[in-house]
Amino acid sequence: MVKKYTRSYAQEMDEQDELKQFRSEFYLKNESIYMDGNSLGLMSKRAENALHNIIDSWKKYGIDGWMEGDHPWYYLSERLGEKMSVLVGGKKDEVIATGSTTVNLHQLVSTFFQPEGKRTKILADALTFPSDIYALKAQLQLKGYDESHLVQVQSEDGNLLNEEHIIEAMTDDIALIVLPSVLYRSGQILDMERLTREAHKRNIKIGFDLCHSIGSIPHDLHKWGVDFAFWCTYKHLNGGPGSVAGLFLHEKHFGVAPGLAGWFSSAKDKQFDMEHTLTPANNAGAFQIGTPHLFSVAPLIGSLDLFHEAGIEKVRRKSLALTDYLMELIKYELDGHGVVICNPENHIQRGGHIYVEHPEAARICKALKMKKVIPDFRTPSGIRLAPVALYNTFEDVYDCVQIFKTIMEDELYKQFENVREVVS
């Protein structure tokens, strides 16, 4: 057997891993191989401690916790925004921790979708996460337009997008573009720099959903000139279920009034003047709406510290090595079992997970879980596997594929129905 396909090779790779010390920072699921960090990242000990710290500050300070303690609540969203800015390539004032993915999308579209003349349409794609489409359709309705004003670029194979087709769709009736940075199903990375440049040539504003890229790949949003971006923090950032999201607003848009104004849209020094005329913050903070959810934002204090210590470039380097190895093993061990790799294989276009298809995908995922491998099923026939750089190992990847092979060879999946679980 080629040495690369042995456990000893995986163990050697783990010994050489420059991020191996971070694995001990996380609570690993007992004796399971967790390959679903692109849906919900595991809890870190630092995230847990940070949450307890905020709870204790409420206990100790009461209302004075807004200005006292290790992490005064009043400025916490801005401070966490500064920490996240490194991960998206933004300036510190361009990023804020606030809201949820879809709330932030509503906020940004309500601000930047300003139909005028023949520019009355929003350009998106047919493979993006459904919530984004729900929000875009709702925003069109609020402005008095029907669904015909939502243009969705189609995929030729159901998994990947052709960027040439996206650019061709940037016609003179498009008022705004909203695209994913990484496709949630196939893991394809879109060339955000190129698409932004092409949009701006046509005087169209463009924003990106970074849910599947933040914490997984580096970005340079400010340099690229991206108008806005938004993301969740519970996947690769390990902020916990429902953790507070984030958004990026390029500084060229500072001073633009938020479409959905609220209490925390205010400039910090004016907020408690209690005036009925809003003075928005002159930074991304203006796009906050309500009081930050302290217990949902607190874990990010700890999880973002881990990213600052590890460095996103090292995270990306290991992520690519893990997914390279995963694909090599799948091709070697699962050959002849009908498992088809459907994600991009080159480094430039591949995000932090791999995506394979099989007609029995739903029941294969159930069999994997029975064998203590935690995958992610995507209807109708997709399996996502995400080895996360901060806590997964090369031996995890090796064992995952060996278990997958046993399931296919022994047809263990046939004991399950080929239907998705309620949450998949």
Q: Each residue's pLDDT tens digit in the chain (424 positions)? A: 678 999 999 999 999 999 999 999 999 988 899 999 999 999 999 999 999 999 999 999 999 999 999 999 999 999 999 999 999 999 999 999 999 999 999 999 999 999 999 999 999 999 999 999 999 999 999 999 999 999 999 999 999 999 999 999 999 999 999 999 999 999 999 999 999 999 999 999 999 999 999 999 999 999 999 999 999 999 999 999 999 999 999 999 999 999 999 999 999 999 999 999 999 999 999 999 999 999 999 999 999 999 999 999 999 999 999 999 999 999 999 999 999 999 999 999 999 999 999 999 999 999 999 999 999 999 999 999 999 999 999 999 999 999 999 999 999 999 999 888 877 6
The answer to whether the CB of 399 falls within 8 A of the CB of 33 is yes
The answer to whether the CB of 383 falls within 8 A of the CB of 424 is no
Domain boundary among 309, 327, 342: 309
Find the CATH number of the domain harbouring 301.
3.40.640.10
Is there a single domain that holds both residue 298 and residue 383? Answer: no
Which residues, in sequence order, are CB contacts of 323 under 8 Å at separation 6+? 350, 352, 353, 354, 387
Is there a single domain that holds both residue 360 and residue 370? Answer: yes
State the burial class of residue 399 (Cβ atoms within 10 Å of its Cβ: 0-12, 13-18, 19+): middle
Q: Which residue has the tokens 């699962």?
A: 334
**Structural tokens at position 48:** 């847990």
Whether 120 has a binding-site annotation, put simply, is: no
Find the CATH number of the domain harbouring 16.
3.90.1150.10
The answer to whether the CB of 97 falls within 8 A of the CB of 81 is yes
Position 204, amino acid? I
**Structural tokens at position 114:** 């300003």
The answer to whether the CB of 100 falls within 8 A of the CB of 232 is yes
Is there a single domain that holds both residue 267 and residue 291? Answer: yes
**Is residue 321 assigned to a domain?**
yes
The answer to whether the CB of 386 falls within 8 A of the CB of 36 is yes
**Structural tokens at position 207:** 């924003």
CB environment 291-300: b (16+ within 10 A), e (fewer): ebebebbbbb
Which residues, in sequence order, are CB contacts of 305 under 8 Å at separation 6+? 46, 83
Q: Give, for 356, the enclosing helix (H) or strand (E).
A: strand 354-357
- Whole-angstrom distance, CA of residue 268 vs CA of residue 357: 50
Is there a single domain that holds both residue 324 and residue 305? Answer: no
Is there a single domain that holds both residue 243 and residue 95? Answer: yes
**Is residue 424 assigned to a domain?**
no
The answer to whether the CB of 37 falls within 8 A of the CB of 388 is yes
**Is residue 423 assigned to a domain?**
no
The answer to whether the CB of 303 falls within 8 A of the CB of 244 is no
The answer to whether the CB of 43 falls within 8 A of the CB of 240 is yes
**Is residue 39 assigned to a domain?**
no
- Residue 122: how many CB atoms within 10 A of its CB? 23
Instruction: Note the helical H segments in 153-310.
Output: 163-168, 192-201, 221-224, 294-297, 299-310
The answer to whether the CB of 170 falls within 8 A of the CB of 177 is yes
**Structural tokens at position 86:** 């490194």
Q: Give, for 137, the enclosing helix (H) or strand (E).
A: helix 130-142
- Whole-angstrom distance, CA of residue 326 vs CA of residue 403: 13
Structural domain boundaries, residue 378: 3-31+311-415
Is there a single domain that holds both residue 61 and residue 20? Answer: no
| DSSP label of 95 | E
Structural domains in the chain (count) = 2
Whether 180 has a binding-site annotation, put simply, is: no
**Structural tokens at position 424:** 């998949």
The answer to whether the CB of 118 falls within 8 A of the CB of 110 is no
Is there a single domain that holds both residue 127 and residue 218? Answer: yes
**Is residue 420 assigned to a domain?**
no
SS3 277: coil
Is there a single domain that holds both residue 93 and residue 124? Answer: yes
Whether 410 has a binding-site annotation, put simply, is: no
Beta strand 121-125 pairing with 95-97: unpaired
Whether 291 has a binding-site annotation, put simply, is: yes
Total length of the chain: 424
Q: Which residue has the tokens 């005028």?
A: 116
- Check residue 1 and give its pLDDT: 63
- Residue 117: how many CB atoms within 10 A of its CB? 8
Q: Give, for 110, the enclosing helix (H) or strand (E).
A: helix 101-112
Whether 191 has a binding-site annotation, put simply, is: no
Domain boundary among 309, 341, 373: 309
Is there a single domain that holds both residue 166 and residue 210? Answer: yes
At residue 139, φ and ψ (nearest 5 deg) are -65, -40
**Is residue 245 assigned to a domain?**
yes
- Whole-angstrom distance, CA of residue 85 vs CA of residue 315: 16
Whether 58 has a binding-site annotation, put simply, is: no
Whether 171 has a binding-site annotation, put simply, is: no
**Is residue 94 assigned to a domain?**
yes
Is there a single domain that holds both residue 202 and residue 108? Answer: yes
Domain boundary among 288, 309, 330: 309
Is there a single domain that holds both residue 372 and residue 223? Answer: no
| pTM for this prediction | 0.97
Whether 71 has a binding-site annotation, put simply, is: no
Bridge partners of residue 125, in order along the sequence: 153
Whether 213 has a binding-site annotation, put simply, is: no
- Check residue 420 and give its pLDDT: 82
SS3 404: helix
- Check residue 219 and give its pLDDT: 98
Is there a single domain that holds both residue 211 and residue 122? Answer: yes
**Is residue 41 assigned to a domain?**
no
